Chains A and B, each alone.
Chain A
Amino acid sequence: QQQVKQSPQSLIVQKGGISIINCAYENTAFDYFPWYQQFPGKGPALLIAIRPDVSEKKEGRFTISFNKSAKQFSLHIMDSQPGDSATYFCAVKGGSQGNLIFGKGTKLSVKP
């Protein structure tokens, strides 16, 4: 059973546009929701994370929106740049588990 569903699989956005990636989860015990960015040949790097006691968190051009009742959270990249072209993964963690559970990833291409 897939515990985190991420969409879309791939996304093409024009430079300056807004990129939106969505994730949905099932288990209400999850209490940590990070987004990771991965470039080819590199390990994932933490981009931004949110706890369920807030509905939105913004860091520069990156914003997480969190909807606890819908069990969904999304990443918004404002003013998307070609350098943002990468694969983005949402993840969840909580309860007694130590590991992150990852979505399948979204490959973002930002066209100049």
Chain B
Amino acid sequence: GAGVSQSPSNKVTEKGKDVELRCDPISGHTALYWYRQRLGQGLEFLIYFQGNSAPDKSGLPSDRFSAERTGESVSTLTIQRTQQEDSAVYLCASSLWHREGNQPQHFGDGTRLSIL
């Protein structure tokens, strides 16, 4: 079976442009997470979706960041008016419903975003 798929794998854009990053979770996984990983750093939580519940947006660093999820499938992370500090790898993970025990989070290989 397919794992978590992210696209594009690499994105280079100019400062001030908007970007959209896509995540296809593992089929049947109701929970979906976005994390950011700056060069040589750990992962920072951005946003979490669980089923039809309101998403946990507590990790979003500014109002330039937003994310949507269609049902229990594809999610897109949008960064508006990109800044150089947004350069990072954006990782998506999915898991089975987490409140039934701590289900493993499975990660995609990320989108490497570079802001010129």
Contact = CB atoms under 8 A, between A and B. Distances in A.
B33 A43 contact: no
Contact of B42 (A45, A51, A102): A102
B105 A46 contact: yes
A98 interface: yes
Interface in A60-76: none
A112 interface: no
Contact of A99 (B41, B42, B45, B110): B45
B45 A100 contact: yes
Contact-residue size bin, chain B (C-beta under 8 Å from the other chain) = 20 to 34
Q: Which of B40, B48, B102, B110 has the most CB of A within 10 A?
A: B102
B43 A44 contact: yes
Contact-residue size bin, chain A (C-beta under 8 Å from the other chain) = 20 to 34
B75 interface: no
Interface in A78-110: 89, 93, 97-105
Interface in A38-54: 41-46, 49, 51
Contacts of A42: 109
Given A99-B45, A99-B56, A49 B31 contact: no
A101 B45 contact: yes
Contact of A98 (B98, B108, B110): B98
29 contacts: A34-B104, A36-B107, A41-B109, A43-B91, A43-B93, A43-B108, A43-B109, A43-B110, A44-B91, A44-B107, A46-B105, A46-B106, A49-B104, A89-B42, A89-B43, A93-B102, A98-B31, A98-B33, A98-B48, A98-B50, A99-B35, A99-B48, A100-B33, A100-B43, A102-B42, A102-B43, A102-B44, A104-B42, A105-B42
Interface of B: 4, 31, 33, 35, 40-45, 48, 50, 56, 59, 91, 93, 98, 102, 104-110
